[in-house]
Structure 1
Amino acid sequence: MNDTNQMTQQSTPPSHPVSRRKTIVATTIGNGLEFFDFTIYGFLALVIGKLFFPALDSYNQLLLTVGTFGVGFIMRPLGGIVIGAYADRAGRKKAMTLTIFLMALGCAMIGFAPTYAQIGVWAPILIVAARLIQGFSAGGEVGASTTLLVEHATPANRGFMASWQFASQGLGILLGAAVAGGLTAALGPQAMEAWGWRVPFILGMLIAPVGMYIRRQLHESLETAGQPARREARSSLAEVCGEHGRTVLAATLSVLGGTAAAYVVTFYMPTYAVRELGLPPTVALFGAVLTGLLSFALSPLVGLASDRVGRKTLIVWGRVAMMLMIYPGFLWMIASPTPAVLFTVVGLLSVALVVQTVPAITMLPEMFPKHVRASGMSLVYSVGVALFGGFSPFVSTWLVGATGSKLAPAWYLLGMTLVSLLGLLWLRDFTGRDIDEAGAHRADAEPVSRPARA
């Protein structure tokens, strides 16, 4: 029976429309579940701080909690390297199944973790260990899943296919913020601190088998059947850094602005709204729901646009729009801290975020040859996110406390966005080009001037 199923899957090539639709659905659901599991911690930062860092004042509780959120990103580069190499050797499907299992394990550890009042200092240590496991998983997830989407695409629709990676992140954020906001509104502070905060993590653990089942139905895009195992003189990491080092450096710089903006707008903004603007927690969390909804709804449209006008054009316009809106947006929220203003600012920043992130996340796997594509994509994305994404809530919280200015996060985002534009200058745009053709990734290969038409 298994052989029959495998033969059936192999009979439908990755470029076939049926296979592409199946890949989109399976990847979106699986990746959405992973991001629900990974990000729900950020939406419950204030509650977790009280339970696991009770000996500190409220500011330091928050600082340590968002710092622990960032700890999950320390392991992303290692996860990207290890799981990316595994995806390039054993296949994208196996790597994606492994990541969802590890994410569920981290959820279980947090969901059933005793609090500081029960076991003392071992409680935050356990939380840190769980976040490290989840970070390792997330580091390999984005590279493997984005590579799979790109390899199921044609040169004319790669932007649309890869857009479902960010759409699935939006879906996970939408679900996480909605669950956290719904529980906060329904249970109240006492019940949330007693047991309600555990519910999302237990849900994340229980839905993992669904994601693993769905992923096993995917068509593998890395053809390894019937081919002898390659014995490399160097590891995939050594090849990526040795032969594509300039691309890795430029791409990592280019990732900074989008990832810093994503984690400030999505995960720090609810905390900022409660702590600095004095808004109710439910209002703040439903601002994150809006971000997730816009990311999920707009990503495919932006992906289609990037296939027609090119990746770089949209990235530049998205980042310029972000830079123009950041400072006035924060100024407006401080001057008029109402739900309507919060939702308006968050909505506008989210649109600019989608416009720049979808083509950016498509460009990353396009830059590397197939046999090291998952490794290259995972390395660039995980390092960029680890250094400047996951710790953005921590940096923003620290800057507000250190400067006493509620505008400090706006200046941080402006700086990161500007640096990311400099990195973009050194990258080539492969829109519409066959990225698997001979010589496509040589340093002297010329990029196409116009995208191919479907």
Structure 2
Amino acid sequence: MSEALPSPQAGRLTRRDARTLTLAALGGALEFYDFIIFVFFTVVIGHLFFPPDMPEWLQVVQTYGIFAAGYLARPLGGIVMAHFGDLVGRKRMFTFSVFLMAVPTLLIGLMPTYESIGYAAPILLLVMRMAQGAAIGGEAPGAWVFVAEHVPANRVGIACGMLTGGLTAGILLGSLMATAINVIYLPEQVAAFAWRIPFLVGGVFGLIAMYLRRWLDETPVFEAMRSQARIASVLPLKQVLRGHGRAVVMSMMATWMLTAAIVVVILMTPTLMQKLHQIAAADTLIANVAATVTLTISAVVTGAALDRFGPVRVTLVGGLALIAGVYALYLGTAADPSRLLPLYAVVGFCVGVVSIVPYLMVHAFPAAVRFTGLSFSYNVAYAVFGGLTPLAVSMMTAVNPLAPAHYVAAIVVIGIATVLVNALAVPRLAIAEVAAGQPAR
């Protein structure tokens, strides 16, 4: 049996740990902002980057297709960056992912439109969007691995929670920026120039985040592997698929719970509430901002609870709370639409249970293939389940208005079962033990 690699000793977070977590969370927030800001300006971009005589519905469909291309590029980008992250270092890929997101975002803000360069405009937009997708595929897995291998073994939960909170804060920043642009500028000003502002701001701040990440240190776990020549000698993905199938399945099932909570509760609910209960769009968006704020806070709280109480109890309590919360949201709003904001804020807090997902995944794979295993499982599952969920929920909602709640509840039950089965099969291990690839005792 191989000797366990050195890892940070259990204890309090140091000032260096706090700096690492802060910079990582900030970079994650800015990167998710860059990725999500596109969707808030879909209509304007459709008018500007496609022929003016094209029907508006077709412009919107094609623009959403370009937006979706970013999701299709996620698995490939994540796997490639994870491959090099396991071979040459976490820090390099962690910094490169921000660069790969910031540059295309900045270029979108500077890009000429169809009026200037014709069909080259949508083609270039597609290329930039795919580069963004590749970047986001490496960011979340890379960030979770990076901070988990930096902090003391009994602080992995709070590290994953802070990163998850940072990612959701990026969605909030995008929503706030889009709202501000549409409040400050008239529609014709937005179409003329103001739509560029969010992309230019995101690109500049992304480059700043990349520069700040240069000051971070390589993780102690990877440094130990490098010094002891334990870096993967064969293709990391091949090792993951050959020797860690159980961990891959567990990670994918956990990611399914994350996609159900984020896609249905945070991304789809505003539109669903408008259609089901004729609530004004502005009211649903304000409620959505409240839910995203409480989610960001709860992600950190959940992370701290994981360190104190362990994954089983946190998942049971948090999962059941999310099920109760999503039913309260849909039943309560149907009874009285004025309850939307407080109920949405409460269920947003319940969604914070998704911080359990990165916590499970960083413990599921040995250090030599941790980045690759996590990235492959997370990105493939997110591409599949994240892509199918909106279609499935929309079709079911046409038959039953409570279908969104039923769907989330069913997937959360699967998530709880996954955690319980994993806990029985593999006792809770410290990062150091998992890094060495030692079997559970």
Fold shared by both chains (TM-score > 0.5): yes
Letter matched to residue 167 of structure 2: Q
TM-score (structure 1 length as normaliser)? 0.82
Equivalent position to 2:432, from 427, 436, 440: 436
Aligned mates of 1:172, 1:310 — CA distance in 2:
27
Aligned to 2:195: 197
Letter matched to residue 98 of structure 2: I
Aligned to 1:325: 325
Letter matched to residue 153 of structure 1: V
Aligned to 2:5: none
Aligned to 2:125: 127
Deviations 1:392-437 (CA, angstroms, capped at 9, x unpaired) = 446555666xx37655544443444344344334423878632323
Contact 1:104/1:208 (CA < 8 Å) preserved in 2?
yes
**Cα pair distance change 1:231/1:157, threshold 3 Å:** closer
Structure that is richer in helix per residue: 2
Alignment of 1:169-208 (within 5 A): 169-208=167-206
Gaps of at least 5 residues in structure 1 are 1-11, 447-454
- Overall identity of the aligned pairs, in %: 30
Contact 1:369/1:436 (CA < 8 Å) preserved in 2?
no
Contact 1:311/1:360 (CA < 8 Å) preserved in 2?
no
Structure 1 position 188, deviation (Å): 3.9
Deviates more, 1:227-236 or 1:237-246: 227-236
Aligned mates of 2:278, 2:121 — CA distance in 1:
29
Aligned mates of 2:253, 2:375 — CA distance in 1:
14
Contact 1:150/1:365 (CA < 8 Å) preserved in 2?
yes
Q: Give the secondary-structure state (helix, strand or coil) at the position aligned to 1:304.
A: helix
Deviates more, 1:248-257 or 1:296-305: 296-305
Deviates more, 1:431-440 or 1:201-210: 431-440
Contact 2:70/2:131 (CA < 8 Å) preserved in 1?
yes
Deviates more, 1:145-154 or 1:16-25: 16-25
Aligned to 1:351: 349
Aligned to 1:102: 100
Contact 1:159/1:304 (CA < 8 Å) preserved in 2?
yes
Aligned mates of 1:63, 1:345 — CA distance in 2:
32
Aligned to 2:305: 305
TM-score (structure 2 length as normaliser)? 0.84
Aligned mates of 1:41, 1:14 — CA distance in 2:
42
**Cα pair distance change 1:148/1:246, threshold 3 Å:** same
Q: Give the secondary-structure state (helix, strand or coil) at the position aligned to 2:234.
A: coil
Aligned mates of 2:204, 2:135 — CA distance in 1:
17
Aligned mates of 2:107, 2:303 — CA distance in 1:
36
Alignment of 1:358-369 (within 5 A): 358-369=355-366
Structure 1 position 256, deviation (Å): 0.3
Deviations 1:276-335 (CA, angstroms, capped at 9, x unpaired) = 655555444433432332233232222111112111322233233323333442344455
Aligned mates of 1:319, 1:62 — CA distance in 2:
36
Letter matched to residue 149 of structure 1: V
**Cα pair distance change 1:439/1:46, threshold 3 Å:** closer
Aligned mates of 1:199, 1:271 — CA distance in 2:
26
Aligned mates of 1:379, 1:371 — CA distance in 2:
14
Equivalent position to 1:427, from 397, 416, 422: 422
Deviates more, 1:120-129 or 1:238-247: 120-129
Letter matched to residue 252 of structure 1: M
Letter matched to residue 376 of structure 2: L
Structure 1 position 366, deviation (Å): 1.1
Letter matched to residue 173 of structure 2: L
**Cα pair distance change 1:307/1:30, threshold 3 Å:** same
Letter matched to residue 324 of structure 1: A
**Cα pair distance change 1:275/1:179, threshold 3 Å:** farther
Q: Give the secondary-structure state (helix, strand or coil) at the position aligned to 1:321.
A: helix
Gaps of at least 5 residues in structure 2 are 1-7
Aligned mates of 1:63, 1:290 — CA distance in 2:
29
Count of residues paired in the alignment = 428
Aligned mates of 1:395, 1:114 — CA distance in 2:
37
Aligned to 1:163: 161
Aligned residues: CA RMSD: 3.3
Aligned mates of 1:13, 1:425 — CA distance in 2:
27
Aligned to 1:244: 244
Equivalent position to 1:376, from 373, 376, 383: 373
